[in-house]
Structure 1
Amino acid sequence: MRRTRVTAWRRTVLRDVVAGLSVAMVGIPQSLAYAELAGMPPVVGLYAGALPPLVAAVFASSPYLQTGPVAVTALLTFGALSTVAVPGSPEYVGLGLALALLVGAVRVLLGLLRAGWLAYLMSQPMLLGFVPAAALLIAGSQLPRALGVTAPAPFGNEILDAGWALAGPDRWAVAAVVASLVTAAIVLGGRRLHALFPGVLVAVVAGVAVSAAGLYPGATVASIPTGLPPFTLTAIPWSSLPALALSGVLIALVGFTEAASISRRFAAEERTRWSADREFVSQGAANLTAAAFGGMPCGGSFSRSSVNRMSGAATRLSGGVTGLAVLAFLPVASVLEPLPTAVLGTIVVVAVVNLMRFGPLLALWRVSVPQAIVAWGTFLATILLAPRVDLGVLVGIGLSLLVFLARMLRLDVDTHVEDGVITFRPRGVLWFGTAQELDTALLDALAEHTDATALVIDLERLGRIDTTGALVLRSVLDQARAAGLTAEARGIPPQSEDLTRRVLTSRSSLS
C-alpha cells in the first residue's frame, strides 16, 4: 500500500514538473513581450514570471492557474503610468513597482475579507465591450513593431498609430515583416498540428538563431541584464501611492476576471471546488512579490493555464515549477538579446486575436438594448480614451450602474378591467423609488372607470417589496376602499411576505 502511494506521488510530481516546464517555455518569451507592452524593460517581465508564480502556487485554489505577466493587465499598467512618466525610464519602472504593490494589497485584502463575490460584480456586458477593445489596442500597439516602423510623432492612441503604420507600406522593413509572418505562421500553424506544440518557443529560438547569425538587420531586444531578481521594495516611490490608488483598485478587479473565469471553468468541468477568496489572496501575494523583486503587475494567464492543464498538471506544484524554471533561466537570459522585436510584437498580436470577439457584441442588441449600450459604450470609451484604458473601465462601470438604476426605478403596472373589477399586475421591484407608480396607476384607473366595484392587485410578478413599497400598497388599498371598492392584494412574493403582511394588517399609522 505504501509503495503504491509513493508511486502515485512520484507520478503526480513528474506530471507537474513536465507541465511546469512546458508553461515556462511559453511564459519566458511572453513575459518579455508583455513587459514591452506595459512599457517596461523586457527583464521586468522575466522578474514577474519568476518568483510571483512560485508564491502564488502556495496560496492558489486552482491547481492549473498560471500566474505572471498577462496582456490585459500589461495594457492597464501602460495606461495608468504612461501619462505620468516616460515608459522604460527608471521613474516609470518605480511606479510599476508601486502599482504592483497596490494591486497586491487590494487583492490580499479582498481575499482575507472574504470578498471574493466582487469577482462576479464586473458586469458581463461591460467586459464584453472592454476585452475586445483592449485586444484591439494591444494589437495596435504592437503592429508598428511587427512592421518595423516607428511613428515620428505618435498620436497617443494605439489605433491611430497602427493606422499610420498600415497606411505606409513603403515604410515597412522587409526583414521585420518576414520575421512577423514567419512567427505568426509558426505559432498559428503549430496550434493546428497539436494544442501543445510550443509554437512561441520555436518562433523565439528561430528568431534568435537568425539574428545571432547576423541575418537580421532590424531592431532586437538588445539588452537583458542577467542575474537573480533584485530586492526593490525600498525602491518604491511611496509618495506616488495615493495618485495610483484608483488604477490599482481597477487593475486588481478587472485583471482578476481572467484568473477567475479560467479557474471557474476548469473547476466546473472537473466538478471540483474553487475559492475566489483564496485566489484573490494568491494573486495578491504574487503581485506583492513582484513589487518586492523587480516585477510589474501580473495576473492569471488564460493561455498558459490551458497549456498547464493540457500538459498534465495535477496540483499547484506545476505553478511553482514554472516559477523555478524562469528563475533558473535568469542568469542566462542574455541569450535572448538578439531576439527581433518584431517577433515579440507578433507573439503579442497572435496571443490576443482570440480576445477580439465581436459576435457577442453584435448579438447583444437582439438580447437587450440597455446592456448593448453598456457594452458598446465601454468599447468606444476604451478605444477613445486610450492609453487611459482604466478610464474606459470606469465609463463601463458607470453605464452599468445607470442601466441598473433605470431598471430599478421602473415599475410597469399592467391594468385589466373586467365586470367592474380593476386588476393591477405590477412588474419590477416595489420600493421607495417606484412606489409612487402604483399610487398613480390607482388614481388613473379610478378616474377612467368610475363604475368599478373592486380592485385586485396581483403581486406575483414583483421581485420584492420594501417597507415603503408595502406602505404605499396599503395606502392604495385604503384609497380604493374609501372610494367604495372592495380591495385585496394577492400573490405576495415569498421573500417579502412577512414584511408586507405585517404592514397590511397593522392597525397603527405608519405613514
Structure 2
Amino acid sequence: MKRILQRIRRVLPDERIQRADVIAGLSGAVASVPDGMAAGALAGVSPVHGLYASMGGRLFGSFATSTRLMVVTATSASALAAGSALTAVAPEQRSAALILLTLFAGCVMIAASILRLGRYTRFVSHSVMTGFLAGIAANIVFGQLAQLAGVSADSSIALLKAVYVVRHPGEIDIPSLVVGLFALGLLLVLARTRLRLFAALAALVFPTALMIGFGWDSVTRVADAGAIPKGFPWPHLPDLAALTPSLLGGAAAVSVIVLVQGAGVAQAVPNRDGSPTDPNRDFAAQGIGSLAAALFRGMPVGGSLGQTALNATAGAHTRSRRSCPGCGCWGFSSPSLRWSARCPCRRWRRS
C-alpha cells in the first residue's frame, strides 16, 4: 500500500492548487460535455461514447503527458477517422466495433512509444499541420450542415451532404436552424469577452432553454441519436467477436492521425518553463487514454488542440510539477532534493 501511495504521489503535483487551476478545471469539465457528445455524433455512433472517452482520456491519459497542459480527450480528428473506419459496419454492431477499434488503437500508440517513433514527428512541418486541421474543419462544416438545418441527407460524403442542403432549401427545419445558429452566435460573441471560458456552457444551456420554452419538438435531441444510460459507466472488456482485418487497419489509421495531431499540440502549447517535451511519452499517454476509454465504452482519444488551448487560456499551472531543463525527464524526487536520481543529467529543478 505504501508503494501505491508513493506512485500516486509521483503523478500528483507538489504545488498547492491555485484559483486559476480550479477555473481551468471547471471550464474544461463544462466544455467536455458538449465537445465529447459532438465527437460521438461525428463518428456516427451514440454521443455517449464521446462523453465516456472524454472522461477516460482525461483521467488516465493526461497524467502521463510530457506536454504538461495537453488535454487527452476525444477529438474531431479521431472521431472522423473512427467514423470512416466503421462505414462498412452495420449500425447495430457499430458500438461494439468502435470500442474494439479504440482498444487496438491504444495498443498501436503504446507500441509506437516503445519503438521510439516519436523522433519522426520533427518531420511534420507547421504548414502540414495547418492544412491537416483546415481539412478537418472543412469536413466538419460540410458534414454537420445538414444536422444544423434539420435536413435528412443520406450521403456518406460530407460535401454531398452540404450540397443536398443547398439544393433542397424547402426541407430546412426552421427551429433546428434557429437553435443551431443561436448556439454558434453565443460561442463567437462570448469568445471575445471575459466570459469566454464559459462560452461552451452558455451555448449549451440557453439554446436548450429556448427550444424547451417554445416547445420545438422537431429539433433533434441527443437521446434521438442513442440511448443514454443512467449512472456511472463501469469498466468492461470489449467484445472480440466484432474483430475484423479492416478494423485493425482502421485502428492503425486512427492511431497515426491521433499521434500526428498530438505532436501538433505539443508544438502549439510548449511547456511554460522551457523544458523539452518527449513525443514518445506523449504517444504512450494518448495510448493509455485510449485503452482507458475502451474499458469505459468510449472512442479513441488524443491530444486536443481546442481543449488544450482552453486549458492554457484559463491559466492552468499546477500540472507542471518539477522538470529537468537538461533532458526533460519527469522522475520523482523528494522535495528536499534539487535533482532526481533518475535524471541522467542530474540537473533537476522545480518549474
| TM-score by shorter chain over 0.5 | yes
Q: Which residue among 281, 302, 306 is the counterpart of 1:303?
A: 306
Q: What CA distance in whole angstroms lies between the structure 2 residues aligned with 1:310 and 1:133?
A: 25
Q: What CA distance in whole angstroms lies between the structure 2 residues aligned with 1:234 and 1:287?
A: 13
| Aligned position for 1:452 | none
Q: Matched residue pairs, number?
A: 304
| Aligned position for 1:165 | 165
| Aligned position for 2:269 | 266
SS at match of 1:50: helix
- Give the partner amino acid of 2:256: L
SS at match of 2:303: strand
**Pair 1:285-2:282 in alignment:** no
- Give the partner amino acid of 1:69: A
- Give the partner amino acid of 1:65: M
**Pair 1:185-2:185 in alignment:** yes
Q: What CA distance in whole angstroms lies between the structure 2 residues aligned with 1:275 and 1:195?
A: 34
Q: What CA distance in whole angstroms lies between the structure 2 residues aligned with 1:312 and 1:130?
A: 27
| Aligned position for 2:198 | 198
Deviation at 1:122?
Answer: 4.6
SS at match of 1:251: helix
Note closer, same or farther for the CA distance 1:121–1:253 as it changes in structure 2 (3 Å cut).
farther
SS at match of 2:191: helix
Quick check: 1:196–1:310 contact (8 Å CA) kept in 2?
no
**Pair 1:56-2:58 in alignment:** no
Deviations 1:89-113 (A, max 9, x none): 3x10111111111211111111123
Note closer, same or farther for the CA distance 1:192–1:111 as it changes in structure 2 (3 Å cut).
same
Note closer, same or farther for the CA distance 1:121–1:251 as it changes in structure 2 (3 Å cut).
farther
Deviation at 1:212?
Answer: 3.4
SS at match of 1:110: helix
- Give the partner amino acid of 2:231: G
- Give the partner amino acid of 1:232: H
- Give the partner amino acid of 1:68: T
Note closer, same or farther for the CA distance 1:178–1:211 as it changes in structure 2 (3 Å cut).
closer
Quick check: 2:146–2:165 contact (8 Å CA) kept in 1?
yes
Structure number with greater Rg is: 1
TM-score normalised to structure 1 length: 0.56
Percent of aligned pairs with the same residue? 28
Deviations 1:282-303 (A, max 9, x none): 0000001111111011111111
Note closer, same or farther for the CA distance 1:11–1:197 as it changes in structure 2 (3 Å cut).
closer
Q: What CA distance in whole angstroms lies between the structure 2 residues aligned with 1:51 and 1:169?
A: 41
Deviations 1:208-228 (A, max 9, x none): 223334532222112422211
Quick check: 2:16–2:318 contact (8 Å CA) kept in 1?
no
* Aligned alpha-carbon RMSD (Å): 2.3
Q: Specify every segment of 5 or more residues in structure 1 that has no aligned partner in the other structure, as ranges.
A: 1-7, 319-511
- Give the partner amino acid of 1:28: V
- Give the partner amino acid of 2:161: D
| Aligned position for 1:17 | 22
Quick check: 1:196–1:307 contact (8 Å CA) kept in 2?
no
* Residue correspondence of structure 1 range 132-151 to structure 2 within 5 A: 132-151=134-153
Note closer, same or farther for the CA distance 1:192–1:17 as it changes in structure 2 (3 Å cut).
closer
Q: Which residue among 287, 312, 317 is the counterpart of 1:314?
A: 317
Q: What CA distance in whole angstroms lies between the structure 2 residues aligned with 1:228 and 1:299?
A: 22
Note closer, same or farther for the CA distance 1:16–1:149 as it changes in structure 2 (3 Å cut).
same
**Pair 1:219-2:224 in alignment:** no
Quick check: 2:109–2:284 contact (8 Å CA) kept in 1?
yes
Q: What CA distance in whole angstroms lies between the structure 2 residues aligned with 1:301 and 1:235?
A: 28
* Residue correspondence of structure 1 range 87-486 to structure 2 within 5 A: 89=92, 91-122=93-124, 127=129, 129-151=131-153, 154-194=154-194, 196-213=196-213, 215-217=215-217, 218-222=219-223, 223-237=227-241, 239-240=243-244, 242-267=245-270, 270-316=273-319
Quick check: 1:57–1:317 contact (8 Å CA) kept in 2?
no
Q: What CA distance in whole angstroms lies between the structure 2 residues aligned with 1:68 and 1:267?
A: 18
Q: What CA distance in whole angstroms lies between the structure 2 residues aligned with 1:224 and 1:214?
A: 24
- Give the partner amino acid of 1:221: V
Deviation at 1:33?
Answer: 0.9
| Aligned position for 1:68 | 73
Deviation at 1:171?
Answer: 1.5
SS at match of 1:272: coil
- Give the partner amino acid of 1:219: T
Quick check: 2:67–2:277 contact (8 Å CA) kept in 1?
yes
Q: What CA distance in whole angstroms lies between the structure 2 residues aligned with 1:317 and 1:53?
A: 16
SS at match of 2:270: helix
| Aligned position for 1:427 | none
Q: Specify every segment of 5 or more residues in structure 2 that has no aligned partner in the other structure, as ranges.
A: 1-13, 322-351
Q: What CA distance in whole angstroms lies between the structure 1 residues aligned with 2:61 and 2:78?
A: 17
Q: What CA distance in whole angstroms lies between the structure 2 residues aligned with 1:43 and 1:205?
A: 18
Q: What CA distance in whole angstroms lies between the structure 2 residues aligned with 1:132 and 1:202?
A: 26
* Residue correspondence of structure 1 range 485-496 to structure 2 within 5 A: none
Deviation at 1:84?
Answer: 2.6
Q: What CA distance in whole angstroms lies between the structure 2 residues aligned with 1:224 and 1:144?
A: 23
Quick check: 1:49–1:68 contact (8 Å CA) kept in 2?
yes
| Aligned position for 1:42 | 47
Deviation at 1:229?
Answer: 1.6
Q: What CA distance in whole angstroms lies between the structure 2 residues aligned with 1:126 and 1:164?
A: 30
Quick check: 2:77–2:136 contact (8 Å CA) kept in 1?
yes
Q: What CA distance in whole angstroms lies between the structure 1 residues aligned with 2:254 and 2:31?
A: 24
**Greater share of residues in strand:** 1
Q: What CA distance in whole angstroms lies between the structure 1 residues aligned with 2:106 and 2:55?
A: 16
